[in-house]
Amino acid sequence: MSQRPSALTRPTSSKRRLKDLLLQKDNRVCADCASPDPKWASTNIGVFICLKCCGVHRSLGTHISKVLSVTLDEWSDDEIDAMVEVGGNASANSIYEAYIPEGISKPGADASHEQRSKFIRSKYERQEFLKPSLRILSNQKKGSLKTSLSNKITDSFRSSSSTSQKSEGMVEFIGMLKVKVIKGTNLAIRDMLSSDPYVVLNLGKQLVLLFRKCKQV
């Protein structure tokens, strides 16, 4: 006997898929302060949040957190697909809150605006609680992340080439590279400034930075 498809994967209306996701246990409280019955969401991070935390998310800018109302705003299919793909608050927090240092605690439902702002900015903007391998450092200017990453990759490649004991001729190619990724683990979810998903591939001594639609496996 075939298994029944889950509520989030069977064909249904977009609003129903969003409602089904919101009704999951971990999504019934705010991802950042655990306030009950959140009615807002960050569509590019993939979390449901309360009204008070929503204000802080808006102050981060849409390049970091794009906030929509679950009940008042119109959602595109792509935005709902992105939320479903992340899996909700528990899945997102397992990454964004992977390493919370001692002495730092999540704000509660009655926390002040300053407490919320400090925690949320540390969590999403400065990425202080991510695994070190997933942190993306930038100079906090919009549009600078791709350049920063590209420069780091280029510097790393040049450094490894200059220290090589062998004198090998290297040729730079600019064009399209088609790569099929069989399996990926611990991939960064998205580019924190442009919201573009990306992955860095190490092909021998060459590094490739891909800004395409990437899914964690």
- 61 and 112 housed in the same domain: yes
Q: Which two tokens stand for residue 150?
A: 């590209």
Query: In this structure, is residue 103 part of a structural domain?
Result: yes
Query: In this structure, is residue 180 part of a structural domain?
Result: yes
Give the domain-ending residue among 133, 161, 183: 133
- 164 and 97 housed in the same domain: no
Whether the model clears a pTM of 0.75, i.e. scores above it, the answer is no
Query: In this structure, is residue 8 part of a structural domain?
Result: no
SS3 101: coil
Query: In this structure, is residue 116 part of a structural domain?
Result: yes
- 34 and 92 housed in the same domain: yes
**Alpha-carbon distance 114 to 130, whole Å?**
22
- 153 and 75 housed in the same domain: no
**Is the separation of the CB atoms in 106 and 65 below 8 Å?**
no
Strands (E), 17-148: 40-42, 47-49, 67-69
- 19 and 97 housed in the same domain: yes
**One-letter identity of residue 98:** A
CA of residue 205 relative to chain centroid, distance = 28
**Alpha-carbon distance 125 to 121, whole Å?**
5
Give the domain-ending residue among 116, 133, 150: 133
Q: Hey, CA dihedral for 57, 61, 66, 70, is it positive or negative?
A: positive
Alpha-carbon torsion, ordered 112, 56, 49, 120, to 10 deg: -80
Query: In this structure, is residue 9 part of a structural domain?
Result: no
**Alpha-carbon distance 55 to 42, whole Å?**
11
CATH number at residue 122: 1.10.220.150
CA of residue 120 relative to chain centroid, distance = 14
**Alpha-carbon distance 98 to 91, whole Å?**
11
Domain count, the chain: 2
- 25 and 121 housed in the same domain: yes
- 167 and 206 housed in the same domain: yes
- 153 and 73 housed in the same domain: no
Query: In this structure, is residue 22 part of a structural domain?
Result: yes
Query: In this structure, is residue 95 part of a structural domain?
Result: yes
- 116 and 151 housed in the same domain: no
Query: In this structure, is residue 3 part of a structural domain?
Result: no
- 88 and 125 housed in the same domain: yes
Site of tokens 């709902």: 80
Give the pLDDT of the chain (217 residues) as one tens digit per residue: 444 444 454 445 778 888 899 999 999 999 999 999 999 999 999 999 999 999 999 999 999 999 999 999 999 999 999 999 898 999 999 999 999 998 999 999 999 999 999 999 999 999 999 877 676 654 444 444 444 433 443 444 444 444 444 444 455 555 566 667 777 666 655 555 555 555 666 666 565 555 545 444 4
Query: What range defines the domain where residue 102 resides?
Result: 14-133
- 53 and 106 housed in the same domain: yes
Q: Quick: pLDDT tens for 19-75.
A: 899 999 999 999 999 999 999 999 999 999 999 999 999 999 999 999 999 999 999
- 44 and 84 housed in the same domain: yes
Give the domain-ending residue among 85, 116, 133: 133
Decide: residue 77, CB within 10 A, 0-12 exposed, 13-18 middle, 19+ buried: exposed
